[in-house]
Amino acid sequence: MSSELDKKRMAHILGGGKEKQDQQRKKGKLTAFERANAIFDAGTFVEIDPFVVHDCNEFGLENKKNLGDGVITGYGLIDGRLVYSFLHDFTVLGGSLGLAFASKVCKIMDLAMKQGTPIIGINDSGGARIQEGVRSLAGYAEIFHRNVQASGVIPQISVIAGPCAGGAVYSPAITDFIIMTKSAYMFITGPDVVREVTKEQVDFNALGGASIHNEKSGVAHFVAEDEQDCFTLLRKLLSFFPSNNLENPPCIESEDDPNRQDQELNSILPSSPQKPYDMHELIRKIVDNRDFLEVQRHWAKNIIIGLARLNGNPVGIVANNPQVLAGVLDIDSCDKAARFVRFCDCFNMPLIAFVDVPGFLPGTSQEWGGIIRHGAKLLYAFSEATVPKFSIIIRKAYGGAYCVLNSKHIGADYNFAWPNAEIAVMGHEAACNIIFKKEISESANPDKKRAKLGDDYRTKFSNPYVAASLGYIDDVIEPKQTRPRLISSLKSIYKKRVNRPHRKHGNIPV
């Protein structure tokens, strides 16, 4: 009896057979079981449903019934924490999804929800199993429905380690983070259909490769060199999150002095307010051990989002990037930041905004593309968030962009400014050109007059002490004090609780 069991397990481990597994490895890809061993702590992965097979007896599938039906499902430990996972097996019918396959995935998602643990999906599939017809589509929809139910309850991470096409793309799209290997690709319709319908000549990578979705579409959040690099990144990403929305993020003992003051922050800003500087370096000087995991770093680069720790506590960071478009807000950057803010709020991660924003990007393409609607998403996200929220105004905070980026008026708990910060409807030079247009034009020396009026305007209206006098800025601080002040503030409000009126849900302007 045990010999039969051993025989079945061995057949299951071989998936679609040794030849197909060798083909998989030649493409630089691991098999499903090799991936499980690479992701989970050694010896901790436990498989569920290894003997499931499909029940389709049409189109020759009656002769292609592999144990497991093309997907490995189970649970294990990652750095000692329980995580559930499903892993596509491309060697079995190209990893195509049928009803039995989908039922296994749904079962593991249901278990993850019951236990309150993260779920990781390793995608490597040719898409729907055409031979099963509508049952395959029903299987996809059942998975999508569970993705939605799990959203904001448990962290969901998708790894794209091969093809992900057609309806298969929507499950990863709903999850919190997508990591793509460089050889992977995603698209709704493939190159052949595109050529037929639109006459465009495009290959797999140009249509939906990792670089496309990390740089152009913003669908993916990370790109990894290979699968090992991917799994290393996956472990680091998971280390910041709680297992579910009822827990706090895991705090670790920090080796970085919470009272550390970096003197170089006092001179990091250039003398001219028009010149850029490195916001990434500014962030690294403040967070624990200079360790900042940037998210979506290749897309919408005018805003920076990412994860770090302050005195061992995970935090989410949103920052303008003055090196790209002067750090203005546009359609893509608003979408990028809004979704990240909502993720952090779901999982009890405090939010910090480093603000240096001259406003929203002007132009017909932005207005016609709906910048009003997209900007409202970011406003909505920060306003809706109930986690501890902090803002540091580094240099510029102009117009509606000041309001949107975690201002006191939309619920930020602590707002600080550096001494050279400007908080105003617009920059002092532009304001003077409007307010004192006549005086400047009639002056014997318009440039000198404009400079004098600009200095007066900044003294009276746009310096941080004006906002501080109204209580909109809680304190004006030396740049070097930013780290200890943030850590102190976080300690003072870490157990923040907010009771909102009962409602089904809000109506974010998607």
Q: Which entry of 401, 421, 424, 467 is annotated as an active-site residue?
A: 401
CA neighbor of 113 nearest in space, from 141, 145, 89: 145
- What are the start-end ranges of the E strands in 221-335? 222-224, 293-295, 303-310, 313-320
User: What is the C-alpha separation between 493 and 388, in angstroms, rounded?
Assistant: 7
Examine the residue annotation and report whether 401 is marked as an active-site residue of this protein.
Answer: yes
| Integer angstrom CA distances of residue 115 from 151, 154, 175, 177, 343 | 15, 10, 18, 21, 20
Has 165 been annotated as catalytic? Answer: no
Sign of the CA dihedral running 338, 404, 481, 395? positive
Catalytic hit among 152, 370, 400, 411? 400
Residue 75, helix vs strand vs coil: strand
Residue tagged active-site, from 162, 166, 208, 359 = 166
Q: Give the tokens for residue 475.
A: 């304190």
* Contact in structure between 130 and 94 (CB atoms under 8 Å): no
Give the end-to-end CA distance of the chain in Å, rounded to a whole number: 57
3-class state of residue 27 by DSSP? coil
166 part of the active site: yes
Single-letter amino acid, residue 20: K
Annotated catalytic residue 471: no
Structure letter (DSSP) for residue 81:
E
| Paired residues of 315 in beta bridges | 308
Catalytic residue among 116, 133, 152, 167: 167
Phi-psi region of 447 (alpha: psi -120 to 50; beta: other; left: phi over 0): alpha
Cβ neighbours for 128, distance < 8 A, ≥ 6 positions apart: 96, 97, 136, 137, 140, 166, 167, 168
**Residue from 485, 465, 461, 483 nearest 473 by CA:** 465
Among 262, 327, 312, 333, smallest CA distance to 482 is for 262
Which amino acids are annotated catalytic?
A: 166-167, 400-401
